[in-house]
Amino acid sequence: MKDNALKVLIIGGVATGPKTAARLRRLDSHAEITIIERGDILSYAGCGMPFYIEGVVEDYDSLLKTATGAVRDAAYFEKMKGVKVMDNTEAVRINRERKTVTVRDVRGGEPKDLPYDKLVLATGASPFVPKMEGVELEGVHRLYNPHDAKAIKEAVDAGAEKVAVVGGGLIGLETCGAFVERGCIVTVLEMMPNLVPALLDIEMALYLENYLRERGIDIVTGSLVSRILDDGSGKVAGVETADGRRVDADMVIVAIGVRPKTELAVEAGLEIGPTRAIAVNEHMQTSDPDIYAGGDCVECIHLVSGGKVYAPMGSTANKHGRIIANNIAGMGDTFPGVTATAVFKILSYNCGCTGLTEKMAKELGYDVVTSLCPKRDISHYIPRARFFLVKLVAERGTGRLLGCQVVGEGDGVKRVDVAATVLKFGGTVKDLADLDLAYAPAYSTAIDGIADAANVVRNKMDDLAHGVNPVELKRMLDEGDDFVFVDCRGRPAYEAGTISTDCTVNVPLAELKSRYGELPRDKEIVFFCNTSITAYNAERVMRGMDFTNVKFVEGSIKGWPYPFELKKR
């Protein structure tokens, strides 16, 4: 190293830290780069841990290796990257006035100060563990690092059968799916009214919940876990909710979420943002220009709302690392923000979102218009075609796309990526519908499902389509609203099974022009079919007959998010 080599200290060795170090080494062959990591494992695949518990990933070390099979340990970084790693080393304090960091070996020894020219905070996040009775019992686990994953897998291997997952967010559900695949009896407990409330609107969450219940998972929402029960020997026996419900379990997973690790930054007097994460500018600099921060410890700009959000994601953390390295090397790079894209897989369902949910958009004051469409991911005549339910959220006056959500067996994640791209550039639903997306029957439909969903929004904005959300329809049915519920499919489909209610009648679309007189003009008429396409056509026919109070059920039977049986007529 040169005598005047740039001294760069990086606190954190999981995602942003190693990415910063690797990129900076490629840009500056002389810099003295040191990673300080409190733990004993580096740059691990945290998002792969549920797949290890499930058994899809058989080798524990796979979570710690590169694609070529090299373990990413301290020796690897020294040999392959020219980066010094001090693992099992805690950063105790940042001394900004002296530009040093006080560190100590967690296994013992005296503290010492390390000098820096540039400092990078990549301290990440820590799991939120509530202060509740029983949280330290044997059999209670968090899923924070591969050590946790290994302990959980060993417990299942040893015979743990009944699992209570406290928290119905992304981590909780991915872990839940792993347990089900292992043959465990699983209960998911979420204090909010629906699962993954930060990612999915109520009808999308209910659609997912309905599927999970069909797969044998017990879902408890709107109920706070008040304590974890002791079997009398210091081992977990189950959980109890605030409303008195008991769930027996021999393993409890606490997956309530994560919080940014900001202690060092706070003590050093660095600015903390409104999300309680570290505030950074577009160059990933903190309020001290010689200290950068990235990954799960910082907040980001939301590209749709323009506000600050805390959106921890491994993909974002790696982007941050590259940008920090570029700026330390003098390249002047910027990070624009995120659309808060998140996807996850649970059993055979693919789920995801990007942008704002309808609930978020309304809270921010947007006048929104939405669509809810069950679509096939590829052409219907290809045997492996599967449905996914897609919801789009747009601004009514401008048509600007605000968000997208998907749930289902079909490849909805591909469509989330398309929507995220449109959101990044501030596009509209027309822009989305007009995209020149790849088409071949084995990969998509001639008009892709997300383009169809965009066109539904456009039809609503043009006052051509008038949908009833299934949540609203369920309220109408439960409260006995006076309306006519019309199954507009052909007679054979109707007789094979319909949503049978006191107000359900069958008037096939093909007969509607000759039978429209059977339907009253003084009542609301709501059409449904399998996927809403026929029902929308029925609405257009009726409005052509000067009926004005006509709507269709968005999603219809395929998108119905509640448990029900199609009853034969």
Q: Order of strands across the sheet with 89-95?
A: 89-95, 100-105, 112-115
Annotated catalytic residue 351: no
Q: Which two tokens stand for residue 569?
A: 């007529």
Q: Residue 44: count other Cβ atoms within 10 Å of its Cβ.
A: 22
Cα R_g (the chain), whole angstroms:
27
DSSP 490: -
Question: Among residues 250, 230, 260, which one has the least CA distance to residue 141?
Answer: 250
Alpha helices in 330-373 (DSSP H): 358-363
How far apart CA 83 and CA 64 sit, in angstroms, is 17
Q: Are 399 and 456 in contact (CB under 8 A)?
A: no
Residue for token digits 């006048």? 367
β-strands 112-115, 467-468 pairing? unpaired
Give residue 249's identity as a one-letter amino acid code.
A
Plot region of 567 (φ>0 → left; ψ -120 to 50 → alpha; else → beta): beta
Q: Mapping DSSP to helix (H, G, I), strand (E, B) and coil, where does residue 295 land?
A: helix
Residue for token digits 């190293």? 1
How far apart CA 375 and CA 378 sit, in angstroms, is 9
Plot region of 160 (φ>0 → left; ψ -120 to 50 → alpha; else → beta): beta
Q: Pick the catalytic residue: 47, 176, 184, 373?
A: 47
Q: Residue 467: count other Cβ atoms within 10 Å of its Cβ.
A: 25
Instruction: Indicate which residues carry an active-site annotation.
Output: 47
